Amino acid sequence: MASHVDSAALPDRNWPLVAAGAVLGCVGIGALFSLAVLLQPMGTATGWSRTGLSAAMTLAFLASGFAGFGWGALSDRIGPRPVVLAGSVLLGLALLLASRATTLLQFQLAFGGLLGVAVASFFAPVIAATAAAFERRRNLAVSLVSAGVGVAPMTMSPLVAWLLTHVGWRETLLVLGLLAWALTLPAAWFVRAAPMPAVAAADGAPAASMSMAQALRSTPFIVLALAFFACCAAHSGPIFHTVSYAVGCGLPVTTAVTIYSMEGAAGLGGRLLFGVLGDRFGAKPVLVTGLAVQAVAAVSYLAVDQLGGFYAVALVFGMAYGGTMPLYASLAREAFPPRILGGVIGAMTLLSGFGMALGPLFGGWLFDRYGSYAWMYAGSLMLGLAAAGIVTRFPRTARPGGTGGRTAEPVAALDPGRAAAG
């Protein structure tokens, strides 16, 4: 029998990594979702269709998904800092190239392809390093890293909207590129993996010898990847198109952007709240509840057309989708060893990228075809409920610190190779 070490006795480490990860997430997501604010002005200025511009976001999510797997696996080998440095350089370059695009295809390749690759470097490597570095406050630490994503709508999006009132969309992207370099390159210095103590695996803990191939075939990974896909497909369309939907309801664009900011503020609070609840009650039940709330909130946008109603829905929707996102990484840390966690989270990101890619593209296509976002919001309801149902199939694992009286899942249930070997 392997010796047991109470993980609650291990010190929490690497809070500078948490702060740096929050900054990186804010800048990366803020740059990516600047297109939600630029969508209508760019279409008016260039004549490019909403579907074509939305396709740039779809390409960004696809590129981010594939790159996230690569970045995560690479960070397992060389550490997260060089990966994040490379992504920081690419981020500013992508925005500068997008600002110079003269055709829709050029814009799609720069903003969609290169920017998506760059932003992916900020997530799987940093989240994996954070999840591996914390035990007692793991859900809170990962949620704080993810909180940068929630800050982006309150900072980057208003900045983009303000710039658009003074300069054109090209100059706006140019400023964002320079700002991205100024913020992310220094933050990358604080990104490092905390040294892990030599602790023997306890009964029911993730098998240290599990290979990446075994992990990707395991039940926990399949459940998390499918749920992550459905969850992101459910909320990406509303996140991206709600500003345009609100403008269609008669709100000025600068006012409509504040709805997105409200989602971000609520998401920030949701990340902190769900992180604390996840540490208290376990990540799985909190995630299931959050996904169900997210689904109902998404379709509720159809019931409002005034600013107050938009704010009320954005508060609930933002808190739900923001709070659920970090919990996937926490569940992955319960099921897989830190040695391959970057690759596992990167592979999950790949599937989530596919989900994120669906919302903007199909939302734009449905709007162009039917002149309405109703089908997009209804689809978000169904996908969100499906994600909640999928998470219920995640095998039970030991709570961090061994508290709470929950039974640990045998290692064989996490590792098909060991289960087959008897």
What is the DSSP secondary structure assignment for residue 25, as one 8-state letter? Answer: H
**Structure confidence at residue 116 (pLDDT):** 92
What is the DSSP secondary structure assignment for residue 332, as one 8-state letter? Answer: H
What is the DSSP secondary structure assignment for residue 134, as one 8-state letter? Answer: -
Question: Given pLDDT bands bounded at 50, 70 and 90, which one contains residue 186?
Answer: very high
* CA atoms of 389 and 229, how far apart (whole Å): 13
**Structure confidence at residue 258 (pLDDT):** 85
Listing DSSP states for 277-298 in one string gives: HHHHH-HHHHHHHHHHHHHHHH
**Mean pLDDT on 252-267:** 82
User: Where does 16-192+212-396 sit in CATH, by number?
Assistant: 1.20.1250.20
Instruction: Please say if the pLDDT value at position 356 is more than 70.
Output: yes
**Structure confidence at residue 410 (pLDDT):** 37
Question: Given pLDDT bands bounded at 50, 70 and 90, which one contains residue 208?
Answer: low
* CA atoms of 194 and 175, how far apart (whole Å): 34
pLDDT tens digits for 109-164? 999 999 999 999 988 888 888 877 777 777 788 878 877 776 777 788 889 989 98
Question: Given pLDDT bands bounded at 50, 70 and 90, which one contains residue 195?
Answer: low
More confident residue, 322 or 172: 172
pLDDT tens digits for 68-117? 888 888 888 888 899 999 999 999 999 999 999 999 999 999 999 999 99
Structure tokens at 164: 């658009």
**Mean pLDDT on 222-247:** 90
Q: pTM for the complete prediction?
A: 0.69
pLDDT tens digits for 270-297? 888 888 898 888 889 999 999 999 999 9
Listing DSSP states for 152-204 in one string gives: HHHHHHHHHHHHHTTS-HHHHHHHHHHHHHHHHHHHHTT--PPPPP--PPPTT
pLDDT tens digits for 374-386? 889 998 999 999 9
Structure tokens at 30: 């803020």
Instruction: Please say if the pLDDT value at position 10 is more than 80.
Output: no
Domain ranges of the chain: 16-192+212-396
Long-range contacts of 416-421 (CB under 8 A, 24+ apart): 416/214, 416/217, 416/218, 416/219, 417/210, 417/211, 417/214, 417/217, 418/207, 418/214
**Structure confidence at residue 329 (pLDDT):** 85
**Mean pLDDT on 35-56:** 86
